[in-house]
Amino acid sequence: MAVEVARDEALAQKAAKAAKAENNNNNNNHNNHNNNDNNNSNVASDPPNSPALQRIADLEAKLRERDGELAAERERSTRARKKLRQLLGKLAERDAALAELRATLDVARAAIAAGVCSAGLAGQRGTPYFNKKMTNNQRSFSASSGHQGAEDKGYGGESFRVSSLTSQGLAAKEHLAQMRANLAESEREVRELEERRLAKEADLRGSSGAPSSTAPSRGGENEDSQELQHSTSAESAQTQLSLISQQIVEKKRFAAELVQKTKVLEAQVWQQRTVIVELLSGQRAPASLRARASSGGGGGSESSAEEGAVPQPSFRASLGASLPLPCQDEALRAFLDAAGDAAGLILRSPALRSAFEVRPPELCGSTLEGCSAEERVTVLSLFTAWVAVGSSPAGAMRLSDLSLTEEDTVEIVSTLETCNAELEEWEMMRCPASSISASASLLRSLGSQPLRRLSLGYNALGPTGASSLAAAAAASQSWASSLEHLSLEMNGLGDEGCRE
């Protein structure tokens, strides 16, 4: 009995221990589950300033910045393409104008070769007829004299007279063209007025026959009012018709006066042509030209067709190499006198004369067409010296459409140093240098000038040129305080050149 009781107590104790152990296991599982839930919630909700989220935000900001830079680059590219199209259009227009000028010059030279000036200027200067054409204020010289200096003095006066007559002829020709336009406009107005007069006459005839074709009115008062309106409208139409007729008479009188003035002006133009041809050739003008001058050009379309037969401005320009004009600018005349024989290049070319005479002076590539390499260097040297010491305002150098060679840049730099030039403006458009060394030497020379404005547009400097320019600016002692404007438009600098 006692043994059974002891066994039962032992089983009860084991059962209590097992229940207690199971209870502890359940509590541990529950705590582990709670801990896992807390950990999962912490992982799911990272704090806002965690490194991962910050990295994502930085990448998004950089992406937006790159998008902005891409849009700005596209806009710059669009503007550059637009400017390039404009430049190509301007170049096409200039090429067309140059082609037209060359064609006109060829026509003038062909006319000279055909016999307009077959005797030649040099052989005819001493003829008695040419001497007889001299005016009182010009130096006369003997027909038998062979002294070249006397010939040059007399011929200078004749060339001035030819230039004056040519300018007067051009002005008269423009006036003649305007008068012809006015005459055509007047004739058109006369035709319109005559058409209006015919229309008014037709309306008046129609209104006069209208009362007979209408049915009689029922009341006498209505008939009286209709007759009154009819008479009033007829009087108004008659008044308008008379005014139109009066205007037609005035327009025809004005057109007749224009026709008379046009004939007189045509006669003057052809007389001036006759004198110019005689002065240039030293012979009497052709009989056809003198007959046309005496008859006033023949009038009408025949005169217009004949105007192209002797092209005046190109005719005179084609003789520029043999027919120098006197210089009107006293300062430029003194400068060219000091230059000696080299000044003949400037005096014989109207284009070069214009480049020196304009204020400020400006030299472009077209003015150097036909010059040899030696003459080109001489002209560049004279132009640089004139800009440095003689022009007014001084210190403004302007070059355009020149392809500068090594010799050109050496001559420009040497002249600037010789003249101790102090330039304030330098504008060089479409003037690429033929070599890197030529561009660098020119930019180094500019670095020694107290420039206020520097414009180097369309010169294809590139990164190398930008580096040379940066070096010149760094070495310059005056640019930091003097330079106010810098333009480097369309030079193909790129990112590397911009960094320079």
- 119 pLDDT more than 70: no
When pLDDT is cut at 50, 70 and 90, the band that residue 131 belongs to is very low
Does 280 fall in a domain?
yes
In this predicted structure, the answer to whether residue 19 has a pLDDT above a threshold of 80 is: no
Report for 104-113, 169-178, 383-392: range of highest mean pLDDT: 383-392
Which of the two residues, 317 and 66, has the higher pLDDT score? 66
In a domain, 389, yes or no: yes
Q: Is residue 188, in this structure, part of any structural domain at all?
A: yes
Q: What tens digit of pLDDT does each residue of 189-227 get?
A: 888 888 888 887 887 777 665 554 444 444 555 666 666
Domains: count for the chain = 2
Answer whether residue 310 is part of any domain: yes
pLDDT at 298: 45
Lowest mean pLDDT segment, chosen from 36-40, 378-382, 443-447: 36-40
Residue 133 lies inside a defined structural domain of this protein? yes
Same domain, 346 and 421: yes
Q: Is the pLDDT of residue 283 over 60?
A: no
Residues 349 and 484 reside in one and the same domain: yes
**Domain final residue pick, 278, 297, 318:** 318
Say how many C-beta atoms besides its own lie within 10 A of residue 482's C-beta. Answer: 14
339 and 477 share one domain? yes
373 and 485 fall within a common domain: yes
> What is the span of the domain harbouring residue 295?
128-138+147-208+237-318
Quick one: DSSP state of residue 99? H
- Percent of the chain at pLDDT above 70? 61
Q: Is 289 domain-assigned?
A: yes
Is the pLDDT assigned to residue 230 strictly greater than 70?
no
Domain at 426, CATH number = 3.80.10
Last residue in a domain, options 318, 340, 367: 318
Does 331 share its domain with 300?
no
Q: How far apart are CA 156 and CA 161, in angstroms?
A: 9
- Choose the weakest-confidence range: 50-59, 67-76, 170-179, 472-481: 170-179
Question: What pLDDT score does 287 carry?
Answer: 55
How would residue 307 be classed by pLDDT, with cut points 50, 70 and 90? very low
Whether residues 262 and 199 fall in one domain: yes
Task: Calculate Rg over the CA atoms of the chain.
Answer: 47
Would you say residue 13 lies in a domain?
no
pTM of the entire structure?
0.38
Residue 378: how many other CB atoms lie within 10 Å: 20
**One domain, residues 258 and 286:** yes
Q: Which of 430, 431, 500 is nearest to 464 (CA)?
A: 500
Say whether both 419 and 309 belong to one domain. Answer: no
Residue 281 clears pLDDT 80, i.e. is over it = no
Q: Are residues 343 and 268 in the same domain?
A: no
What pLDDT shows up at residue 13? 76
- pLDDT score recorded for residue 319: 37
- Tokens read off for 188: 């058109």
On the question of a cis peptide bond just before residue 350, with omega within 30 degrees of 0, the verdict is: no
Contact of 327 with 336, CB cutoff 8 Å: yes
Q: Is the pLDDT of residue 380 over 70?
A: yes
pLDDT in tens, 32-64: 655 555 555 554 455 656 888 888 988 999 999
The last residue of one of the domains, among 263, 284, 318, is 318
Lowest-confidence segment of 35-44, 190-199, 300-309, 430-439 by average pLDDT:
300-309
Report yes or no on 26 lying in a domain.
Answer: no
Are 489 and 378 in a shared domain? yes
> CB–CB of 438/406 below 8 Å?
yes
Higher pLDDT, 48 or 66: 66
In contact, 482 and 452? CB cutoff 8 Å = yes
Arithmetic mean of pLDDT over the chain: 71
Kindly state the DSSP code that residue 310 receives in the 8-state scheme. S
256 and 371 belong to one structural domain = no
Identify the sign of the CA torsion 47, 52, 55, 59.
negative
Lowest model confidence (mean pLDDT) among 113-117, 141-145, 416-420: 141-145
- Report whether pLDDT(247) > 70: yes
Q: Is residue 237 scored above 50 in pLDDT? A: yes
